[in-house]
A and B are shown apart, each in its own frame.
Chain A
Amino acid sequence: MRNQLATELLFALSQPGRRGALFPDSDVPEKPLNELIPQSALATNPTDLPEVTEPDVIRHFVNLSTLNMCVDTHFYPLGSCTMKYNPKRHERLAGLPGIVDLHPYQNPSDLQGMLELLYGMQEMLAEISGLPAVSLQPAAGAQGEFTALLTAKAYFEDRGENRTKVLFPNSAHGTNPASAALAGFDCVQLESSEEGLVDLDDLKTHLDDQTAVFMVTNPNTLGLFEKDIKQIAQMVHDAGGLVYIDGANMNAILGYTRPGDFGGDMMHFNVHKTFTGPHGAGGPGAGPIAVRDFLADYLPGPVIKQTKTDSEENQFVLENPSKSIGRIRTFYGNIGILVRGYCYLRTLGAEGLKAVSENAVLNANYLKVILKDVLPVPNGDLCMHEFVASASKMKSKNGITAMDIAKRLLDFGFHAPTVYFPLVVPEAIMVEPTETESKETLDAFAEIIRQIVKEDPEFLHEAPHSTDISRPDEVIAARNPILQCCEP
């Protein structure tokens, strides 16, 4: 079925003289280019872009697109990533004129509707997090982490404290230590307890007057709620530090509990996870942050404020916080994604958000229970929105690995779960069904897993068998990287 010709590299489709886009002749009197631009700055050769027609382009990329799995076509039980359904109304509304065509430097008087929307988003995120001050600027969760750490740094400096350490558990997302290092902190990784939770003794050992921030994901990456979070936060606060909540797993607790209520001082949201901004094959996301009042003045600017009086021309204004850490990106944020998140929140309302978490947690627990005899879950009894199973017993028994199961699932039309993360579980298989899947899908998925684990291990090592390609050689790829079609 694959159209081989159309899916050749684009450059192979090129024929001199073909055109995919035509532009009108100039309607202004033209001057010789070298009168406008010094000859030395002009290119001597035209850029070597391919020459193809519009039908070429469409057929090529449409054919390529069919080689992808995606949420519109498949179940995507990817732990930590919340691959929920992407509502189509968001795409229409985010593309409306007056939303999609605004220039960031227009006069604020012409932007009142957009600023009202973004202000509404700030307000809703503050309410959902229980943290009153919001910055919409960060482009992604990782940038949100980094921004919040800079905010914390500025706060401590302002207080004359020099705190150098960031603590995080060994089950943390890789972005936590990476962001801390980028912000110039020393990274301290803590052990997890037997239960897969923060080890309070280990935390106690490392807390001191050098501790700036404790970063924790709650529910954590094992899908477990840190039941001692209040005590953990108290310990960190007693040491003079701040608690950062990685909000990747907010889908589990919407309307049930709030980071601000369980001791968090700062957090980021992943709009592309929790609030269904589409993943876009790896982005764009959006990673707005919410912080406590006493950190508000340090947030990056600008933030959106509502002016108090009705007599003012502009009800919504862009303002820089008084002690702002500055900008962490150009312009104001990944607005197109924030608009989709806003649409989502306005569609669901308070009850809807709570129902999202209830069904996400119900689906995860149901799947966990019906799979537990074939895929044991080492930690926890009840999970939240995801669980981490381990294939290590299977591996020692007959050599079947987490990767084998993941790859074989593709043959049956299921996207693979996250594997080998978090690092604290051997042969980890991290499953997050999300709330936008039916019991029928979960039953079918479990049935297929049962079937897979009975298959011949050799056959599984070579899976997938039905996909266009199977088991790319990553070692060769890394040893001799080919990163573009016409290597210099």
Chain B
Amino acid sequence: MPYLFNTPEQQQEMLNVIGVDSLEALFATIPSELRLKRKLNIPPALTEMELQSHISNLAEKNIGPSSRVCMLGGGAYDHFIPAAVDEIARRGEFYTAYTPYQAEASQGSLQTFFEFQSLICRLTGMDVSNASLYEGGTCVSEATFMAMRVTNRHNRIVLLESMHPEYRQVVESYLNHLNCEVIVVPCINGCVAPADVDKAMDDQTACLVIQHPNFFGTLEEAEQLTEIAHKYGALSVVSYDPISLGLLNRPGDYGADIAIAEGQSLGTPLQFGGPYLGLFSCSKKFVRRMPGRLIGQTVDRNGKSCFVLNLQAREQHIRRDKATSNICSNQGLIAIRATVYLSLLGKQGIREVAELSCQKAHYAAEQLCQIEGISLLFKDRPFFKEFVLSCSEGPDYLLRKARQAGFDLGPELSRFDFQNSSETYRTGVLVAITEQRTREEIDCLVKALKA
């Protein structure tokens, strides 16, 4: 047993002190008819060497970006991760530490999370950020709940069809038992028409959720939509791509009330969809309505500056059924990764990553559209690093041909259930280009698809 200490002699000694005669006897409070009378039926124990070969074999049955070029998008992206991010995240002092309830034993985590909050505020232009939630989709749900609390409107929210369809599904599962109507404004041409949004809103709507850049990679009229939300007294909730803020206007600059995002792009590997990082920031006036952990600066008994978990009265361990959210654990270590990543990139780096992704994505789109039968599904729509290709031979043909040449594109839009415009999207395939993709790779894909 690799992780146990007590020798048989020590066990006996301890049993004597306790005053029972066997390990079995320690379980006396479990009635015998409830005991499992057989061994658990799970595979036999492996040594470290055997385990390593077992997991390596499983890993080899997968084909990852190491052997394919990843142009997949849809909310998870293959951005570059500097070595220093792993170096810090692999420190036992961070990854084997507990939630920082004991401030004196946790100043390292607390200051790092305080810096995380500060970096997210600067990135988004928002006043306050929490110390993270689970991931992008659950952030949308938490934001809608918060908007209902703030506006005291509990029966209606408006989403855009251009939002990540899985985010919408999450919101629907979170809300569908709560007697709250979820209106989805159709998106026909790659982004929604502000006039349609205006029609969908009313003075009982708690919030309007905007994803910008949206699921298709195209830009929404985020500022105008925010104004529309405010016209009806609703909150504007903006789901952004954190890398895009190296180039684009920040949610705080155009008046968003809550800004949320999937933060995986900020230094976290793809790892098959999780653990990722929910970013959640908002205006200062709503701070006491926020979900999740918040770190605050204060002074200790000797007047020394330090950091603590703040405003815990919002949280489940204090407020129980009246809490602002049921969240207990967050994504601490992933937030630490994002903190290191943003520190390394700094002002210039984030801009360069955003620009490189944007320039290369436009080059790729231009080159791919010169292939017969391939075009952009949403022509003339400005996009950031992701776009939708339409293929006359159908999406499966395009994906298969790309895969054969060593490229992963996607996801194909037919994977998802779009409420209003499925027919329009049937042929579409998403392509995402990050700063890691090279001209050589893009040209090679184009050549393979032409063949």
Contact: B223 with A473, CB < 8 Å? no
Contact: A436 with B26, CB < 8 Å? no
Contact: B29 with A27, CB < 8 Å? no
Instruction: Report chain A residues within 8 Å CB of B102.
Output: 69, 406, 410, 415-416
Contact: B328 with A484, CB < 8 Å? no
Contact: A117 with B333, CB < 8 Å? no
Contact: A62 with B88, CB < 8 Å? yes
Instruction: Report chain B residues within 8 Å CB of A184.
Output: 177-178
Report which residue of A60, A61, A177 has the largest number of chain B beta carbons within 10 angstroms of its beta carbon. Answer: A61
Contact: A224 with B351, CB < 8 Å? no
Contact: B98 with A76, CB < 8 Å? yes
Measured CB to CB, the closest approach of chain A to B117, in angstroms, equals 5
Q: Which of B9-51 touch A at CB < 8 Å?
A: 10-11, 13-15, 17-20, 23, 26-31, 33-36, 39-46, 48, 51
Q: List 9 interface pairs A-B (beta carbons < 8 Å), by A numbering.
A: A49-B346, A97-B64, A280-B331, A286-B275, A327-B173, A331-B273, A343-B51, A482-B298, A484-B128
Residue of A nearest to B58 (CB): A113
B350 interface residue per 8 A CB criterion: yes
Instruction: Report chain B residues within 8 Å CB of A7.
Output: 111
Interface residues on A, range: 35 or more
Instruction: Report chain A residues within 8 Å CB of B66.
Output: 97-98, 101
Measured CB to CB, the closest approach of chain B to A97, in angstroms, equals 5
Per-residue interface assignment for chain A, residues 122 to 158, with 1 indicating a CB less than 8 Å from any chain B CB and 0 otherwise? 0110011010000000011111011000100100000
Contact pick for A484, options B64, B90, B118, CB 8 Å: B118
Q: A96 and B55 in contact (CB under 8 A), knowing A26-B359, A68-B109, A471-B300? A: yes
Q: A67 and B107 in contact (CB under 8 A), knowing A282-B332, A476-B299? A: yes
Instruction: Report chain A residues within 8 Å CB of B145.
Output: 182
Residue of B nearest to A355 (CB): B1
- A interface majority secondary structure: loop
Contact pick for B294, options A48, A83, A345, A483, CB 8 Å: A483
Residue of B nearest to A280 (CB): B333
Residue of A nearest to B284 (CB): A488
Contact: B302 with A178, CB < 8 Å? no
A sample of 6 more A-B contacts (CB under 8 A), given A331-B166, A335-B275, is: A40-B249, A46-B351, A54-B84, A101-B65, A127-B42, A175-B316
Report which residue of B39, B58, B123, B440 has the largest number of chain A beta carbons within 10 angstroms of its beta carbon. Answer: B58
Per-residue interface assignment for chain B, residues 305 to 321, with 1 indicating a CB less than 8 Å from any chain A CB and 0 otherwise? 01110110101111111
Q: Which of B319-360 touch A at CB < 8 Å?
A: 319-323, 325-334, 336, 339-340, 342-353, 355-356, 358-360
B293 interface residue per 8 A CB criterion: yes
Q: How far is the CA of A224 from the CA of B347 in the complex (A)?
A: 54
Q: How far is the CA of A488 from the CA of B93 in the complex (A)?
A: 32
Instruction: Report chain A residues within 8 Å CB of B398.
Output: none
Instruction: Report chain B residues within 8 Å CB of A312.
Output: none
Q: Which of A256-270 touch B at CB < 8 Å?
A: 256-258, 261-262
A284 interface residue per 8 A CB criterion: yes
Contact: B3 with A97, CB < 8 Å? no
Contact: A281 with B296, CB < 8 Å? no
Q: How far is the CA of A21 from the CA of B343 in the complex (A)?
A: 9
Contact pick for B442, options A28, A72, A91, CB 8 Å: A28
Q: How far is the CA of A76 from the CA of B100 in the complex (A)?
A: 13
Report which residue of B93, B164, B177, B438 has the largest number of chain A beta carbons within 10 angstroms of its beta carbon. Answer: B93
Contact: A29 with B363, CB < 8 Å? yes
Contact pick for B115, options A22, A284, A485, CB 8 Å: A485
Contact: B331 with A283, CB < 8 Å? yes
Contact pick for B334, options A67, A110, A283, A485, CB 8 Å: A283
Contact: B29 with A225, CB < 8 Å? yes
Contact: B333 with A10, CB < 8 Å? no
Residue of B nearest to A335 (CB): B272
Report which residue of A91, A261, A358, A421 has the largest number of chain B beta carbons within 10 angstroms of its beta carbon. Answer: A358
Contact: A366 with B173, CB < 8 Å? no
B162 interface residue per 8 A CB criterion: no
Contact pick for B382, options A37, A60, A326, CB 8 Å: A37
B253 interface residue per 8 A CB criterion: yes
Contact pick for B45, options A44, A68, A187, A348, CB 8 Å: A348
Contact: B51 with A93, CB < 8 Å? yes
Measured CB to CB, the closest approach of chain A to B251, in angstroms, equals 11
Measured CB to CB, the closest approach of chain A to B172, in angstroms, equals 6
Q: Which of A436-486 touch B at CB < 8 Å?
A: 436-439, 462, 464, 467-474, 476-478, 481-486
B274 interface residue per 8 A CB criterion: yes
B189 interface residue per 8 A CB criterion: no
Residue of A nearest to B305 (CB): A469
Contact: B65 with A281, CB < 8 Å? no
Contact: B306 with A469, CB < 8 Å? yes
Q: How far is the CA of A361 from the CA of B26 in the complex (A)?
A: 7
Contact: A345 with B310, CB < 8 Å? no
Instruction: Report chain A residues within 8 Å CB of B40.
Output: 127-128, 254-255, 350, 353-354
Contact: B317 with A23, CB < 8 Å? no
Contact: A282 with B114, CB < 8 Å? no
B131 interface residue per 8 A CB criterion: yes
Per-residue interface assignment for chain A, residues 355 to 388, with 1 indicating a CB less than 8 Å from any chain B CB and 0 otherwise? 1101101110110011000000000101010000
Measured CB to CB, the closest approach of chain A to B381, in angstroms, equals 11
Measured CB to CB, the closest approach of chain B to A8, in angstroms, equals 10
Contact: B64 with A101, CB < 8 Å? yes
Contact: A61 with B112, CB < 8 Å? yes
Residue of A nearest to B35 (CB): A257
Q: How far is the CA of A228 from the CA of B61 in the complex (A)?
A: 47
Residue of A nearest to B43 (CB): A346
B435 interface residue per 8 A CB criterion: yes
Contact: A362 with B317, CB < 8 Å? no
A313 interface residue per 8 A CB criterion: no
Measured CB to CB, the closest approach of chain B to A11, in angstroms, equals 7
Contact: A97 with B275, CB < 8 Å? no
Q: How far is the CA of A182 from the CA of B144 in the complex (A)?
A: 12
Instruction: Report chain B residues within 8 Å CB of A343.
Output: 51, 55
Per-residue interface assignment for chain A, residues 88 to 116, with 1 indicating a CB less than 8 Å from any chain B CB and 0 otherwise? 01011110111111111111001111101
Per-residue interface assignment for chain B, residues 54 to 93, with 1 indicating a CB less than 8 Å from any chain A CB and 0 otherwise? 1111111111111010101011101010101001101111
Contact: B93 with A33, CB < 8 Å? no
Instruction: Report chain B residues within 8 Å CB of A256.
Output: 27, 30, 35-36
Q: A326 and B173 in contact (CB under 8 A), knowing A47-B250, A141-B329? A: yes
Q: How far is the CA of A406 from the CA of B220 in the complex (A)?
A: 52
B152 interface residue per 8 A CB criterion: no
Contact pick for A483, options B10, B31, B74, B310, CB 8 Å: B310
Contact: B349 with A23, CB < 8 Å? yes
Q: How far is the CA of A326 from the CA of B294 in the complex (A)?
A: 30
Instruction: Report chain B residues within 8 Å CB of A28.
Output: 359-360, 363, 439, 442
B241 interface residue per 8 A CB criterion: no
Q: How far is the CA of A464 from the CA of B302 in the complex (A)?
A: 12
Contact: B170 with A329, CB < 8 Å? yes
B95 interface residue per 8 A CB criterion: yes
B108 interface residue per 8 A CB criterion: yes
Q: How far is the CA of A379 from the CA of B89 in the complex (A)?
A: 41
> Which 7 pairs across A and B sit closest by C-beta, in order of nearness?
A331-B273, A113-B61, A349-B45, A280-B333, A98-B59, A72-B92, A104-B273
Residue of A nearest to B295 (CB): A483
Instruction: Report chain A residues within 8 Å CB of B200.
Output: none
B167 interface residue per 8 A CB criterion: yes
B255 interface residue per 8 A CB criterion: no
Per-residue interface assignment for chain B, residues 345 to 386, with 1 indicating a CB less than 8 Å from any chain A CB and 0 otherwise? 111111111011011101100000000000000000010100
Q: How far is the CA of A351 from the CA of B104 in the complex (A)?
A: 39
Contact: A332 with B272, CB < 8 Å? yes
Measured CB to CB, the closest approach of chain B to A182, in angstroms, equals 5
Q: Which of B201-209, B228-236, B403-411, B418-426 contacts A (4 or more CB under 8 A)?
A: B403-411
Contact: A68 with B107, CB < 8 Å? yes
Q: A128 and B42 in contact (CB under 8 A), knowing A38-B382, A184-B178? A: yes
Residue of B nearest to A145 (CB): B326
Instruction: Report chain B residues within 8 Å CB of A462.
Output: 301
Contact: A351 with B45, CB < 8 Å? yes
Contact: B272 with A49, CB < 8 Å? no
Contact: B439 with A27, CB < 8 Å? yes
